[in-house]
């Protein structure tokens, strides 16, 4: 049992670093670069990813439900659409809303970047916007959990475990492994964005445009493969 659960944790960490996962969290986190944003989004994404696997696993191994054959295929196509939409949204955010970074150094505190947009709105409206982005991270994670190689890495191995409860334990530990790797990546990503912000607004702008182009192109690639 320990060997099986150790395998689940390792595969969960490996699965978190799939290209479409990294592309998605990196692109969306670039909308407001920083430690807090990157860590928060990556953690919420991992929670959503784990929830979808647990729901699918419970349906299959506890309640004997059948998974539609084309479910993963449709989810892959949906991930492609989401990545294209992220690319378009990043360009719109830069060109229309005028998002830009300022770098500040306060007395007695480490240097850090502030992210601004030329837009009106109350503090309450900005908090609501962040709240919606938090829910969005969970939903995107759930979509990724349904798509791609998740069934291969998680659902196929547990079909040979014999016990439904051990299978669910496998999925839980798999989700913990995914969360661990994604939080570590979010920590590194936040640090990278903080360093990029120190190089000036033009570098930040170029980085976000590169992320937008990469997300859009990778989304088109996924859509082409799903057709």
Among the listed residues 36, 44, 136, 129, the one whose alpha carbon sits nearest the alpha carbon of residue 86? 136
CB 25 within 8 A of CB 190: no
DSSP 3-state percent helix, strand, coil across the chain (nearest 5) = 75, 5, 20
Query: What Å distances lie between residue 55 and 59, 97, 171, CA to CA?
Result: 6, 38, 10
Predicted local confidence at residue 193, as pLDDT: 81
The predicted pLDDT at position 129 comes to 47
Instruction: Report the run of H or E that residue 113 belongs to, with start and end.
Output: strand 112-116
Length of the chain: 227
Residue with tokens 């419970």: 58
- One digit per residue, pLDDT tens: the chain, 227 residues? 788 889 889 989 998 998 889 988 888 877 666 677 888 889 999 999 999 888 888 888 888 777 777 777 788 889 999 999 999 988 887 776 555 555 455 555 544 555 445 444 444 444 444 545 557 889 999 999 888 555 656 666 766 667 788 888 888 999 999 999 999 999 998 888 878 777 767 777 788 888 889 999 999 998 887 76
Alpha carbon 2 to chain centroid, angstroms:
28
- Residue 129 region, left (φ>0) first, then alpha (ψ -120 to 50), else beta? alpha
Domain chopping of the chain, boundaries: 2-103+117-226
End-to-end CA separation in angstroms for the chain: 40
């Amino acid at each position: 049992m320990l060997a099986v659960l150790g395998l689940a944790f390792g595969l969960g960490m490996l699965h978190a670093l799939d290209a479409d996962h990294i592309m998605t969290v990196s692109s969306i986190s670039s909308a407001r670069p920083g430690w807090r944003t990157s860590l928060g989004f990556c953690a919420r994404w991992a929670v959503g990813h784990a929830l979808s696997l647990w729901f699918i696993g419970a349906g299959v191994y506890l309640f004997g439900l059948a998974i539609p054959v084309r479910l993963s295929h449709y989810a892959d196509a949906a991930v492609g659409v989401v990545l294209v939409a992220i690319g378009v949204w990043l360009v719109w955010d830069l060109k229309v809303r005028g998002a830009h970074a300022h770098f500040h150094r306060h007395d007695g505190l480490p240097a850090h970047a502030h992210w601004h947009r030329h837009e009106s709105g109350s503090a309450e409206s900005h908090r609501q916007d962040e709240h919606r982005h938090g829910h969005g991270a969970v939903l995107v994670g759930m979509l990724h959990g349904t798509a791609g190689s998740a069934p291969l890495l998680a659902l196929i191995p547990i079909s040979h475990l014999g016990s439904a409860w051990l299978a669910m334990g496998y999925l839980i530990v798999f989700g913990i492994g995914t969360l661990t790797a994604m939080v570590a990546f979010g920590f590194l990503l936040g640090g990278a964005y903080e360093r990029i912000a120190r190089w000036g607004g033009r570098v930040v702008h170029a980085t976000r445009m590169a992320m937008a182009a990469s997300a859009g192109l990778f989304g088109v690639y996924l859509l082409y493969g799903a057709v």
